[in-house]
Amino acid sequence: MKKTSTRLADGRELIYYDLRDAVVRDAADRRPLERTVTTSEVRRDPLLGDTVAIASHRQGRTYHPPADECPLCPSEGDRLSEIPDTSYDVVVFENRFPSLAGDSGRCEVVCFTPDHSASFKDLTEEHARLVLEAWTDRTAELSHLPSVEQVFCFENRGAEIGVTLGHPHGQIYAYPFTTPRTALMLRSLAAHKEATGGENLFDDLVARELAGERVVLEAEHWVAFVPYAAHWPYEVHLYPRRRVPDLLGLDEEARAEFPRVYLELLRRFDRIFDACGDSPSPPGSPGRPGSPGLPVSRVSPGEPATPYIAAWHQAPFGVLEEFDGVAREDFALHLELFTVRRTSGKLKFLAGSESGMSVFINDVPPEQAAGRLREVASP
């Protein structure tokens, strides 16, 4: 991997990640941009104890531009974009409309490919590995910023999720605090450690799932399953078999295997709703031998690509004193992949119970979801 850092016309950092060392990246940003001004502010809710980012400047961000005006495609002739060069492998740059900025953290955009019509699942394994290396490198670099306590790499795909740019890309949020979701995990981790005399909750959870019926995919260094209390209609958690706190902790074997495993999961997600009729799958259907027949939602071949969120959970880089007895190394890196589509043409909305009380209602039993995800495995 070759890494080349440069600056855009308004001073924002941009980094090229290339597969080949011979590539030269010296194109200048020719746009007449003024320096970016943001109004990002972090406020703490005194009742709930969580945090809200107030970012009114984002109201003016680019919204569903036509493909020939996409700001994430390479620049070409007089059509100038956020990427000055005429090509790239993977590129990362500071978001022009960040939710977090300055003392409130940092937001970056990760462009997975120059191909506007592609998706992450269309990448080669070599290219997917390059994205992994970019995520890892940015996690390392951002963790050194004094305003950053936790780094979150993620991808939103699909207009149903709220994506405003159709080009295949993800984002990285560098928070100045430990996020509420992670804090809940750390508290559960501390309580389990105390109650069991030192056992690790992540280790015990993965062991239980591996012994159950919700396993979706097993590889030498990775395992994927639908969790017992899945919040979303189709939700998969992907763990490295060797517990590490963050992307930096993955060894070469896990890194080398990740692209094949992750690309397979993404391709299965796009096949969930790819047939017609609702019928039970037969006993012993693809997946684990002897798996029971499960009802399967099927849709027409014209079903749009499955919208999803893919989210990496990494340990915070800050001090964990408030979580008694928990060290960074106790946390387990994992990726959460889920869709808001519950069946053909129908989405899961966060309505009264979810939005008002944080109590999720899932219309698809996790065991059924796991069965379907095994059925649509690649040949």
- Beta strands, E only, 65-192: 90-94, 106-111, 150-157, 169-175
Please state whether beta strands 51-54 and 90-94 pair in parallel, antiparallel, or not at all (unpaired).
unpaired
Residues 6+ apart with CB under 8 A from 112: 90, 118, 120, 123, 127, 131, 168, 169, 170
Q: What is the mean pLDDT of the chain?
A: 92
Terminal-residue alpha carbon distance, the chain: 31
Q: What is the pLDDT of residues 148-179, one digit of tens each?
A: 999 999 999 999 999 999 999 999 999 999 99
The confidence band for 294, taking pLDDT boundaries of 50, 70 and 90, is very low
Global pTM reads: 0.92
Q: How many CB atoms lie within 10 A of CB 42?
A: 17
For residues 40-63, give the mean pLDDT. 89
For residues 290-298, give the mean pLDDT. 34
Helices (H) and strands (E) in the chain, counts: 6, 17
Lowest mean pLDDT among 116-130, 292-306, 362-376: 292-306
> Which of the residues are catalytic?
169
Q: What is the pLDDT of residues 203-217, one digit of tens each?
A: 999 999 999 999 999
Query: Got the DSSP string for 44-65?
Result: E-TTT--EEEE-GGGGGS--S-
* pLDDT greater at residue 65 or residue 296: 65
For residues 97-105, give the mean pLDDT. 92
Q: What is the pLDDT of residues 30-51, one digit of tens each?
A: 999 988 778 789 999 999 999 9
